[in-house]
């Protein structure tokens, strides 16, 4: 019996508390918000859900605590259709969580507390059953670099492509960088990694070309401006779609999940980028619950 190719996401799960406010508070300021809601989150969890939403099976490697947040997170994975058999329970540590403050303009700032995400067991990466039928591994920077390195080494050894969303931005060791097939960053992360400001699509292209000196393929997203891609002798840009912004929260994760799903299906990089760009545009213009 043939099985559809799938993806593995190694990364974070967060119980998100999303607060709506007129603006994000300055230092020492108290702002009166209008509502709050719990939400399934973590870049890892969001990207795994986005892969499945784009029509490709996905397995999640992560860890949660032995608490009420964990039940919520596992239910979120189940609702999204993500395989959670490689999500461990860490009894002596709380589940990861975050507080995101959404302003009236649809932008946000967040604080994360990693909790059990810091205790993902690298030994899981050596289980052959985890990788059966997998073509792409997806990583982010909300877990320790040692976790990402263990996953990337295991995937690379099996001929599986490695996608790193270097968010939040941090230094990336050469031992990890050399295993990355596709790097995806936003404007701020691109600047942190290559020192180039990104305020336009042209500057995104310049940053992508600079990052492609170190990574096989570099993708720099520039919000509503669009996205730039460089690597393997190929540079192109995809213009942003004109939409009415409701909220940018989760847009990057939607982009990456859709991109990876397209690549798993065997689409060319440019086709995958177009599809991801469109999905992110739809995401930011969609009213939230």
pLDDT tens digits for range 247-269: 556 688 999 999 999 999 999 99
Residue 1 has pLDDT above 60, yes or no: no
Position 286 pLDDT exceeds 90: no
What are the C-alpha distances in Å from 284 to residues 1, 15, 223, 241? 39, 21, 10, 11
- 288 or 137: which leads in pLDDT: 137
pLDDT at 246 over 60: no
Q: In what order do the strands lie in the sheet with 35-41?
A: 35-41, 14-20, 97-102, 108-113
Digit-coded pLDDT (tens) for 93-117: 999 999 999 998 878 888 999 999 9
Q: Region 28-56: what's the mean pLDDT? A: 96
Report the chain's mean pLDDT, rounded to a whole number: 92
Residues ≥6 apart with Cβ < 8 Å to 16: 38, 39, 40, 41, 42, 97, 98, 99, 100, 110
| pTM exceeding 0.85 | yes
pLDDT of residue 245: 63
Q: Which two tokens stand for residue 103?
A: 């302003």
Phi, psi of 206 (to 5 degrees): -60, -40
pLDDT at position 248, please? 57
**Whole-number pLDDT of residue 2:** 42
Q: Tell me what the mean pLDDT of segment 110-135 comes to.
A: 95
pLDDT at position 243: 65
> Domain extents for the chain?
6-12+41-94+118-180+241-284
- Phi, psi dihedral angles at 230 (to 5 degrees): -145, 145
Q: What are phi and psi for residue 30, nearest 5 degrees? A: -105, 125
User: How does residue 227 score in pLDDT terms, banded at 50, 70 and 90?
Assistant: very high
Neighbours of 213 (CB within 10 A): 10
Fold classified for 6-12+41-94+118-180+241-284: 3.40.1190
């Amino acid at each position: 019996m043939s099985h559809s190719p799938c993806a593995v996401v190694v990364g974070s799960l967060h119980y998100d508390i999303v607060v709506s406010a007129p603006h994000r508070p300055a230092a020492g300021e108290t702002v009166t918000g209008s509502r709050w809601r719990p939400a399934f989150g973590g870049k890892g969890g969001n990207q795994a859900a986005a892969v499945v939403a784009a029509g490709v099976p996905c397995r999640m490697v992560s860890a949660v605590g032995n608490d009420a947040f964990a039940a919520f997170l596992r239910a979120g994975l189940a609702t999204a259709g993500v395989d959670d058999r490689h999500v461990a329970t860490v009894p002596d540590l709380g589940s990861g969580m975050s507080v995101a403050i959404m302003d009236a303009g649809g932008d946000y700032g967040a604080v994360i507390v990693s909790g059990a995400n810091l205790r993902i067991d690298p030994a899981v990466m050596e289980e052959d059953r985890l990788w059966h039928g997998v073509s792409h591994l997806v990583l982010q920077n909300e877990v320790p670099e040692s976790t990402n390195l263990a996953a990337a080494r295991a995937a690379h050894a099996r001929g599986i492509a490695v996608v790193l969303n270097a968010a939040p931005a941090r230094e990336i060791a050469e031992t990890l960088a050399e295993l990355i097939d596709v790097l995806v960053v936003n404007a701020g992360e691109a600047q942190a990694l290559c020192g180039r400001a990104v305020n336009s699509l042209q500057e995104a292209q310049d940053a992508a070309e600079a990052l492609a000196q170190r990574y096989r393929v570099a993708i720099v997203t520039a919000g509503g401006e669009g996205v730039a891609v460089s690597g393997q002798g190929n540079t192109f840009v995809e213009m942003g779609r004109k939409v009415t912004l409701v909220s940018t929260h989760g847009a990057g994760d939607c982009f990456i999940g859709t991109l990876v799903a397209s690549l798993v299906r065997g689409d060319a990089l440019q086709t995958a980028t177009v599809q991801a760009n469109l999905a992110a545009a739809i995401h930011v213009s969609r009213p939230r619950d």
